[in-house]
Amino acid sequence: MERVLITGAAGQIGSELTVALRKKFGADNVVASDRKTKTSIELRNSGPFEVVDCTDAAAVESVVKKYEVGTIYHLAALLSAVAEANPQLAWKINIDGLYNVLEVAREHACAVFVPSSIGAFGHSTPLDGTPQDTIQRPSTMYGVTKVAGELLCDYYHKRFGVDTRGVRYPGIISNVTLPGGGTTDYAVEIFYEAIRHGKYTCFLREGTKLDMMYMPDAIKAALDLMDADPAKLAHRNAFNVTAMSFAPEEIAAEIKKHIPNFTMDYQVDPVRQAIAESWPNYMDDSAARNEWGWRPCYDLPAMVKDMIDVLSKRLAGAAAAPGRPRFATETNFARG
Ligand code: AKB
């Protein structure tokens, strides 16, 4: 069997996608890679692991050759707020890294999954019911790299026949790995703070609606799209996918149903607020639904219930070893 390579496997999506792919294809057939040498013991011990920096084309090629990789899930990327704080590095990782992966895929006939994002849209995009094919003029470096990445992936498909596929992920909510510096991270942090302290200070303003998705659906989207019949794909890079859309006060109200004393206040971060305001309020994901049968399983109430059930148990267990999770978004993302 041809093997699968995951770049950025220690990240928020990568850590859970690795587990899902190892379950689906067998642990030995799924190579997790990350540029971080310090990763979870589970990632290293549950199957092959390689230290690979995607900005090093030779390193990507060497691991593809070593394991005879047939499909690459290329997840290594900087998220929006970190990218805005360091746009030069964002270009290097998000674009140079992607270019290296696509070149290796072209040379070695690999299929490639590349996530795009709601960050690929901007102020001039219709922000309510954002269509699949529409204006994409983002104002952030993250967005620029996401649009360029979508175009590059389509180009490699059309010009070289590389089987590239991707989705535009909304904010992803997970109870396993913390996100690493995105604009939507508040929707993860809120759970840790609600369970531990009964209160949360939100860095986005009341009324800021954004598309969101629970991690099991994000994993399902990647697997279902890569399994899809290519003859049915009119689009490739990248499909709008969403599962729910809410503003901070709406998720807070849902959490309050489980933790009645929970309170939330606001301390708006102007950088992330400006990014959020340029992103869709909710996307139209009918192309994904029609072309490859996309259907999410979790809406807002189901996601909140599961997050609170799982995290309450885990954090109660961890109470013996105190210390709070370090959120990447606690950094002040001043423009560099
Ligand atoms: C971020 O906030 O940067 C990401 C994304 C929506 O792409 N979660």
Percent of the chain topping pLDDT 90: 88
pLDDT score, position 41: 75
pLDDT score, position 324: 53
CATH number of 172-213+243-281+296-319: 3.90.25
pLDDT score, position 326: 57
Q: Does domain 3-170+215-240 have CATH number 3.30.720.110?
A: no
Alpha-carbon separation of residue 139 from 92, 93, 122, 269, 277 (angstroms):
18, 18, 6, 17, 11
Residue 30: beta bridge partners?
4
Q: Are strands 69-74 and 49-51 parallel, antiparallel or unpaired?
A: unpaired
Q: What is the DSSP string of 168-215?
A: EE-EEE-SSS--SS-TTTHHHHHHHHHHHHSEEEESS-TT--EEEEEH
Helical segments of the chain, H only: 12-25, 41-45, 57-67, 80-85, 87-91, 97-108, 141-160, 186-197, 215-227, 248-256, 270-277, 286-292, 300-318
pLDDT score, position 137: 98
Does the pLDDT value for residue 93 go beyond 50?
yes
Ligand 1 center–CA 139 separation, angstroms: 14
d(CA 67, CA 30): 9
34-79 per-position pLDDT tens digit: 998 777 777 778 899 999 999 999 999 999 999 999 999 999 999 9
Residue for token digits 């993302």? 333
CA angle 301, 284, 95 (to 5 degrees): 100
pLDDT score, position 322: 54
**Ligand 1: which atom is nearest the Cα of residue 118?**
6
pLDDT score, position 320: 56
Torsion angles phi and psi, residue 67, rounded to 5 = -105, 5
3-state secondary structure of 163: coil
Does the pLDDT value for residue 308 go beyond 80?
yes
Task: Supply the residue whose CA is at minimum distance from atom 7 of ligand 1.
Answer: 117
Task: Supply the residue whose CA is at minimum distance from atom 8 of ligand 1.
Answer: 171
**Ligand 1: which atom is nearest the Cα of residue 119?**
7
Helix or strand holding residue 246 (H, E): strand 244-246
Which tokens go with 303?
A: 């996601």
Which tokens go with 155?
A: 């180009």
Residues with CB under 6 A from ligand 1: 79-80, 117-119, 169-172, 182-184
pLDDT score, position 325: 58
From the list 67, 73, 99, 142, the catalytic residue is 142
Q: Which pTM value belongs to this model?
A: 0.93
**Ligand 1: which atom is nearest the Cα of residue 83?**
3
Domain ranges of the chain: 3-170+215-240, 172-213+243-281+296-319
Does the pLDDT value for residue 179 go beyond 80?
no
Ligand 1 center–CA 171 separation, angstroms: 5
pLDDT score, position 61: 98
pLDDT score, position 327: 58
Quick one: pLDDT band at residue 115, thresholds 50, 70, 90? very high
Does the pLDDT value for residue 334 go beyond 70?
no
Does the pLDDT value for residue 262 go beyond 80?
yes
Ligand 1 center–CA 320 separation, angstroms: 32
Is residue 169 among the annotated active site residues? no
